[in-house]
Chain A
């Protein structure tokens, strides 16, 4: 799996992401600067990592979403290429129009930095095939604006079309107000676009991939992508 990680000023999770991808896919990811107008040839997966692109000025992800490289990402996604956005990357994908909706300030205003539980809603997608449907995984979050919002029609479609892949839940998989850490609509932690090839999620699977991290629940996402691409090849 050849992956390309986008790098914007103020991004700070790109090396964590590169480490996880290198370890799980066995290939060194390309780091792609925001001013580039093309992705490396043969790219299988584009990753928009987390951080604070442009200092979160204006709105989180708003300025990065208009960077030159994003036109190349839009073309790549339009051809069915896989795109993964994590945290600020999710915000950037929403701002760029690749995903619907918006990430608002957490409903209790606090920056949340802790491990959370996620329920994997289905396993028949490139982004979840490393898990079982209904499986509960533990991964960290670190964000101040992760409160997913969209108009009612969009939320209805996301739910009915099975486009919510990850939801915040309790340790035993219950979804409800108590486990909905940031007030996100329908406890949404991660969604895909209509075609199913662009995923945005607030939690950081790349930070739970090695024993030394205390948990390896995040590996499944990357291992699933590798398996999906191997099978497609």
Chain B
């Protein structure tokens, strides 16, 4: 089973990398960019086929390691 965990910065947390990318996009002349926030995507393959088990494992992975919940939110998706 394939899954994706997306980690993003919480609202209000300063994201200097996102700001730098935003500046670069503006200087490239890409129109209409209001703001950029940078995050991370983890594509994960799970050995089992049980959905509930997979979700629990991914949540544990995100809580224990993939995200720092002081500053980051995460979203777990099962891609089938």
- B12 CB to nearest chain A CB (Å): 10
Q: Which of B14, B65, B71 contacts A66 (CB 8 A)?
A: B65
Q: Are A150 and B70 in contact (CB under 8 A)?
A: yes
Residues of B within 8 A of A104 (CB): 13-14, 16, 71
Q: Which residues of A contact B14 (CB under 8 A)?
A: 104, 107, 147, 149, 183
Query: Do residues A101 and B70 form an inter-chain contact, with CB atoms below 8 A?
Result: yes
Distance from A154 Cβ to chain B, minimum over Cβ atoms (Å): 9
B9, closest chain A residue (CB): A104
Interface residues on A, range: 20 to 34
B35 at the interface (CB under 8 A from A): no
A63 CA to B64 CA in the complex, in Å? 10
Quote the shortest CB–CB distance from A11 to chain B (angstroms).
Answer: 19
Tell which of B16, B17, B68 touches A62, judged by Cβ atoms closer than 8 Å. B68
Report if A106 contacts B (CB, 8 A): yes
**Residue on A nearest B71 in the bound complex, by CB:** A102
One digit per residue, 1 when the CB lies within 8 angstroms of any chain A CB and 0 when it does not, for chain B 2-41 equals 0000000000011011001000000000000000000000
Within 8 A of B (CB), among A202-232: none
Q: Answer whether residue B46 sits at the interface, using C-beta atoms and an 8 A cutoff.
A: no
CB <8 Å contact, B13 and A105: no
Interface residue tally for chain B (C-beta within 8 Å): 11
- Identify which of residues 46-80 in chain B touch chain A, using a CB-to-CB cut-off of 8 Å: 64-66, 68, 70-71
Assuming A105-B16, A106-B16, is B68 touching A151 (CB within 8 A)?
no
Contacts known (A62-B65, A66-B65); A108 close to B70, Cβ less than 8 A: no
In the assembled complex, the Cα of A109 lies from the Cα of B18 at a distance in Å of: 11
A58 within 8 A of B: yes
- A66-B65, A183-B14 as given contacts; A109 in contact with B20, CB under 8 Å: yes
Residue of B nearest to A104 (CB): B14
Are A149's CB and B71's CB within 8 A? yes
CA distance A104 to B16 in the complex (A): 9
What's the least CB distance linking A93 to chain B, in Å?
A: 13
9 shortest interchain CB distances as A-B pairs? A102-B70, A105-B16, A109-B16, A102-B71, A107-B16, A109-B20, A59-B68, A102-B68, A105-B17
